[in-house]
Amino acid sequence: MTSFRSTACRISHRGKAFGALAAVVALTGTATAAAAPAAHPGHRGHQPANVILLIGDGMGDSEITAARNYQVGADGRLNLDRLDSTGAYTTYSVRKGTNTPDYVTDSAASGTGWATGTKTYNGAISVDTHGRRKATVLELAQRAGYRTGDVTTAEVQDATPAVLGAHVSDRDCKGPQETSRLCPSDARENGGAGSIAEQLVQTRPDVLLGGGGKYFEQQVTAGRYAGQTVLDQARSRGYFVATTAAQLRTAPRDKPVLGSFAPGNLDLEWVGPTPTHQNTPAARCSVNTHRDASQPHLSTIADVAIDRLDRLSRSGKGAKHGKGFFLQIEGASIDKQDHAANPCGQIGEKVEFDRAVGVALAYQKKHRNTLVIVTGDHGHTSQIVPAGSTTAGVTATLTTADNAPMTISYATASEPGGSQEHTGTQIRVAASGPEAYRVEGVTNQTDLFTTMTKALSISRD
């Protein structure tokens, strides 16, 4: 169930109107592609074309607002507030085997939405509601000669990075062992394509960075690499493996690089008060002094990834020459700390994610044929409630950059002390660069696939 929004042309690249193209009449919610926009003056024609997609996992409007209030004050603006075009998109998934909406998506279904343009069930990694593999924007870009990158603060086998380069029936099939148990038809020993870890290495983006070392340490069960670890397989596939920020910085320029910086997710940036049923005295967040200093920050990961992909795309031979790149950058633990009801954990990740947005926008300023998109994948729990109040859930109060108290409530856990839940709200989507106008208004998460493939002039077929 793919829905395409009307392509009626509303080009609004910061005050520059490029003239109206033929409007398209949308019938019963399905737009025709009859009047696909012709060359966009000022963009098309000077290659390379690049797409940088920044995903704040669980980054709804509440998460953005809380981080803004805390870090720069209510009247301040974050980097992600400065993009040219802003809209909202719906994030619902569908029930397995049907097209019936499931109003609260997870990161697997939502990621599959923009990665493939297809609605699917919660837990699915780039397979549709009936389990059929769907080609991803990264795979299509790679096939067309673009350089590609997939980077995150989570395990690289986690749902959001996984959707770009793997196809499995269940998001938990991260390594060969989990796959044998949970996704037997995907397992190598049964003739499947293998775990998410193996498939990512097989897809081989030029830059693959994050955590998840414990899955790379597992042994491949069958086929050419049987008995070797997935990391051995990665090296055989040509990867240079970096395990620290320093190694990442000095990785050989001509090789694809796999960064495996932690056994699981990368460490948190910030720490702070734990919310309680009685609220907490107003406090400020502090830097996490227990963070493993050898791990790169997300803004460093973004900087290195963009620099490498830019160089690779300009030095490429043949079809790859001058093609540009596709890169996804995920701030994963906004979601994970929202689940954990940890306001400073959540805001610290969000602030670091915003630094990565700043890195992407600085690149875009010098390379105008780059589409930068900043969005989330689904809503989450945290709510800004009246200062000092208590709720049915747990609350904590932080002192913001305005020197004012901000109380945050977490109240969606189904049992006391349990994990907070995702919510089904629409999500902000913002963009700058070619095709950015497509995010305006209210769209569907799956429409982002079309926006990105248009910017790269690639198609599904």
User: Which window, 44-52, 181-189, 224-232, 326-334, contacts Mg ion (CB under 5 A)?
Assistant: 326-334
Nearer to Mg ion (CB atom), residue 110 or residue 179: 110
Residue 139 contact among Mg ion, Zn ion, none, beta carbon within 5 to 8 Å by kind: none
Task: Determine the Cα angle at 222 with ends 121 and 192, to 5°.
Answer: 25
Q: Which residues pair with 101 in a beta bridge?
A: 94
Q: Which of 183, 268, 285, 332 binds Mg ion (CB under 5 A)?
A: 332
Nearer to Mg ion (CB atom), residue 310 or residue 330: 330
**Does residue 335 belong to the site contacting Zn ion (CB under 5 A)?**
yes
User: Which window, 106-114, 119-127, 172-180, 196-204, contacts Mg ion (CB under 5 A)?
Assistant: 106-114
User: Which window, 116-124, 198-206, 335-343, 410-418, contacts Zn ion (CB under 5 A)?
Assistant: 335-343
Least distance in angstroms from the C-beta of 422 to Zn ion: 6
Catalytic one among 107, 126, 169, 409? 107
Q: What is the H or E stretch that residue 162 is in? A: helix 159-162
Task: Determine the Cα angle at 339 with ends 98 and 341, to 5°.
Answer: 150
Distances (CA, A) of 370 to 46, 64, 351: 11, 24, 23
Least distance in angstroms from the C-beta of 249 to Zn ion: 31
Least distance in angstroms from the C-beta of 196 to Mg ion: 13
| Whether residue 48 has a cis bond before it, omega within 30° of 0 | yes
Q: Which of 49, 57, 142, 451 binds Mg ion (CB under 5 A)?
A: 57
Q: What is the number of the residue whose Cβ is closest to Mg ion? A: 160
Nearer to Mg ion (CB atom), residue 165 or residue 433: 165
Nearer to Zn ion (CB atom), residue 412 or residue 443: 412
Least distance in angstroms from the C-beta of 28 to Mg ion: 34
**Residues whose CB falls within 8 Å of the CB of residue 145, separated by 6 or more in sequence, listed in order:** 316, 318, 319, 320, 321, 323
Q: Which of 90, 91, 110, 160 binds Mg ion (CB under 5 A)?
A: 160
Residue the block writes with tokens 């069958």: 222
Least distance in angstroms from the C-beta of 335 to Zn ion: 4
**Starting from the edge strand earliest in sequence, which strands make up the sheet with 325-331, in order?**
240-242, 257-260, 207-211, 147-155, 325-331, 50-56, 370-376, 427-432, 85-90, 441-444
Residue 435 contact among Mg ion, Zn ion, none, beta carbon within 5 to 8 Å by kind: none
Number of residues located near Mg ion, criterion CB under 5 A: 4
Distances (CA, A) of 55 to 115, 140, 327, 382: 12, 20, 11, 18
Residue 200 contact among Zn ion, Mg ion, none, beta carbon within 5 to 8 Å by kind: none
Tokens of 51: 């797409």
Nearer to Mg ion (CB atom), residue 113 or residue 434: 113
Determine the Cα–Cα distance for residues 166 and 321; give it in Å rounded to an integer: 26
Contact 77, 61 (CB under 8 A): no
Catalytic site includes residue 107: yes
Least distance in angstroms from the C-beta of 331 to Mg ion: 9
The span from the first CA to the last CA of the chain, in angstroms, equals 17
Nearer to Zn ion (CB atom), residue 335 or residue 440: 335
Residues 215-274 that bind Mg ion (CB under 5 A): none
Q: Which residues pair with 430 in a beta bridge?
A: 86, 374
Contact 157, 125 (CB under 8 A): no
Nearer to Zn ion (CB atom), residue 325 or residue 410: 410
Distances (CA, A) of 245 to 59, 252, 288, 408: 26, 14, 17, 33
Residues near Mg ion, by CB under 5 A: 57, 107, 160, 332
Residues near Zn ion, by CB under 5 A: 335
Active centre residues (catalytic): 107
